[in-house]
Amino acid sequence: MAKSVFIMLLLLFFIAMISFVATTTTTTTTTVMAADAQYNPTGYGQGSLKSYQCGGECSRRCGRTQYKKPCLFFCNKCCSKCLCVPPGYYGNKQLCPCYNNWKTKRGGPKCP
């Protein structure tokens, strides 16, 4: 009788330890992943700009297009939502996932 109680207590102790280790590991991994998401060596990405910087960045982005008005309109709209404008005049949208993934009703890209 005493042996079976001891074995049951030992088994419960191991289950509790496994649960504690699994919870601690998950919390640590989540914290590290959150820290990695905040670190952006390129300086681009969602939240990399302040709202007052959108006008200048969109002027740069749309500076070489013949469709300045619609480009500026949509760029400013996207920038105010994503707080990010990709570098260059065209492309490089992968550096701003929010900017890149915002689609029109038809499924085309919303942001220039």
Q: Identify the CA nearest to 96 among candidates 104, 105, 109, 106.
A: 109
Q: How many domains does the chain have?
A: 1
Q: Identify the CA nearest to 81 among candidates 107, 105, 103, 106.
A: 103
Q: pTM for the whole thing?
A: 0.60
Report the chain's mean pLDDT, rounded to a whole number.
78
Q: Is 109 inside a domain boundary?
A: no
Cβ–Cβ < 8 Å for 99, 78: yes
Range 28-37 average pLDDT: 40
pLDDT in tens, 75-103: 999 999 999 999 999 889 999 999 899 99
Give the structural domain span for 81: 51-101
Q: Is 24 inside a domain boundary?
A: no
